[in-house]
Chains A and B, each alone.
Chain A
Amino acid sequence: MKLLTCPVNGPRPVSEFVYGGEVRPMPASDCSDPEWARYVFHRSGIPGIKIEWWYHTASGTWFHAERDVVADRVIRTWLPGEGSMEVGGA
């Protein structure tokens, strides 16, 4: 069983978590319709190290993970506001 470290509850089986997708900056509310459509639908599908949202179902905790999506290796996890939002940050 693959483990993921919840910043509150420590290492737990990955089946306790829900993937929330890559963190993407929301455009300003006065942006054009096509810009909004790109934000809603488009994804950076290319492989690499990404900052993501994850949710620990058992405790209702949303948090961030920095993960290599090719090797499926989690580099770090942190609560929103408590860590760098840059790849390679701390």
Chain B
Amino acid sequence: MAYQLLRFALSREHPEPRMFRRPDRLKSSYDVVIIGGGGHGLSSAYYLARDHGIRNVAVLERGYIGGGNTGRNTTIIRSNYLTPEGVAFYDESVRLWQDLSADFDLNLFYANRGHFTLAHTDSAVRTMRWRAEVNKHLGVDSELVGPDAVKAASPQIDITCGGHAPILGALYHAPGSIARHDAVAWGYGRGADRRGVEIHQKTEVTAIDVQGGKVRGVHTNQGYIATNKVLCAVAGFTPRVTHMVGLTTPIYVHPLQAMVSEPMKPWLDPILVSGSLHIYVSQSARGELVMGASLDPYEVQSTRSTLDFVEGLSAHMLDMFPFLSNVRVNRQWAGMADMTPDFAPILGKTPVEGFYLDAGWGTCGFKATPVCGKTMSYTVANDRNHPLIEGFNLSRFETYQLTGEKGAASVGH
């Protein structure tokens, strides 16, 4: 081991990257170019190659694989949404998640924990009941439970939350899970790479060539690529890319911050979410509490993080778990969330022929990674929107047919 390390320290030759190749240079043309090497872009590439036989594909990533919102979320997977479109879509995703580790031959640390959305007010209880009934109707395992069930699943909780926000009930969603987010990007990346897809990191798209309303090619900092199909899967960078093809969208960008505590012995089994206290929290396999909150209240297009966020979130965590007062916060960070007016994503074909959008994920993108790859690869391969994404097209805003998912966003915004 030591000899090997020494050898590579002295040599210009390095061992092969573990998960995928690093192609030297771009080819002059590809059948499909995917902008964004996060979970969504890589899973779309994976299913394009695996299910549709389209292997002449380049994934362009301006940074490194999974370094954007794929590596910045709080890894919660659930399907207890509010609209029938949302529930059907995320339910398919949860199904795909469950055998993804076997599919990749890679341990994603997929852990089924159960998911409580706590209700502290009568109106929140009403929304939870509404979601439970929509979910049950569509065959998704959700139910309204009382405070006793919350206390039984998480005995450390102060059920009154310091006396000022007593928990009146919760939406319990048994399939709620967490997974290791980096591994998801690596698994899809490796699977796509093995099937011939090229992954180009540090390759930034600078312009998109559109002629006569059709995509013709992509300009990058590594040269020009001719292609008729471009899939844009860049999360908070979406408005910059749609601007390149002359499209406007309802997307606006706010930072979403998160933080983790120092590691502890396992004590928190379920995933807990409180809309009123603006918290979602789970304990990772490493023992850290992974905590998130609501969006920053105004537009900022950078990943700066703030002390206000740590103070506010910590205060609310102590309302729920007073015994954490001596626990340290280890890290905090931010991602750029591309929000839409109805809190549902924007997926599928656009008025520009050959330009496909996988965007508007806001605070919900990680859990959709598998189903988004499945449906977007179908859409790109057939130039026809997959039935599961019909409710999420960009055209819904022009016809005022919104898909209102705000009530199922993780916390109140």
Chain A residues with CB below 8 A from B301, complex form = 47, 69-70
Chain A residues with CB below 8 A from B243, complex form = 45-46
Given A34-B398, A45-B253: A69 touches B248 (CB 8 Å cut-off):
no
> How far apart are the CA atoms of A50 and B239 in the complex, in Å?
15
Q: Which of B240, B300, B306, B399 has the most CB of A within 10 A?
A: B300
Chain B residues with CB below 8 A from A38, complex form = 248, 398
Residue of A nearest to B243 (CB): A46
Residue of A nearest to B242 (CB): A45
Residues of B293-312 contacting chain A, CB below 8 A = 297-302, 304, 306, 308
B245 to A: closest C-beta gap in Å? 12
State which of B297, B298, B338, B397 has its C-beta within 8 Å of the C-beta of A45: B338
Given A47-B240, A72-B304: A41 touches B250 (CB 8 Å cut-off):
yes
B198 to A: closest C-beta gap in Å? 29
Chain B residues with CB below 8 A from A43, complex form = 239, 248-252
Do B298 and A37 touch (CB < 8 A)?
no
Query: How large, as a class, is the contact surface on chain B?
Result: 20 to 34
Given A37-B398, A43-B251: A69 touches B299 (CB 8 Å cut-off):
yes
For residue B341, CB closer than 8 A to chain A, the reply is: yes
Do A42 and B300 touch (CB < 8 A)?
no
> How far apart are the CA atoms of A16 and B132 in the complex, in Å?
37
For residue A18, CB closer than 8 A to chain B, the reply is: yes
For residue B3, CB closer than 8 A to chain A, the reply is: no
> How far apart are the CA atoms of A56 and B21 in the complex, in Å?
54
For residue B363, CB closer than 8 A to chain A, the reply is: no
Apart from the given pairs A18-B297, A37-B400, A47-B253, 19 other A-B contacts in the complex at a CB distance below 8 Å: A15-B308, A34-B398, A41-B250, A41-B397, A42-B248, A42-B249, A42-B250, A43-B250, A43-B252, A45-B238, A45-B239, A45-B251, A45-B338, A46-B240, A46-B243, A70-B301, A71-B302, A72-B300, A72-B304
- Which of A's residues lie within 8 Å of B, judged by CB? 1-2, 15, 18-19, 22, 33-34, 37-38, 40-47, 50, 69-72
- Which of B's residues lie within 8 Å of A, judged by CB? 238-240, 242-243, 248-253, 297-302, 304, 306, 308, 338, 341, 397-400
**29 contacts across the A-B interface (CB closer than 8 A):** A1-B308, A2-B306, A15-B308, A18-B297, A19-B298, A19-B299, A37-B397, A37-B398, A40-B397, A42-B250, A43-B239, A43-B248, A43-B249, A43-B251, A44-B239, A45-B238, A45-B240, A45-B242, A45-B249, A45-B253, A46-B239, A46-B240, A46-B243, A47-B301, A50-B299, A69-B299, A69-B300, A70-B302, A72-B304
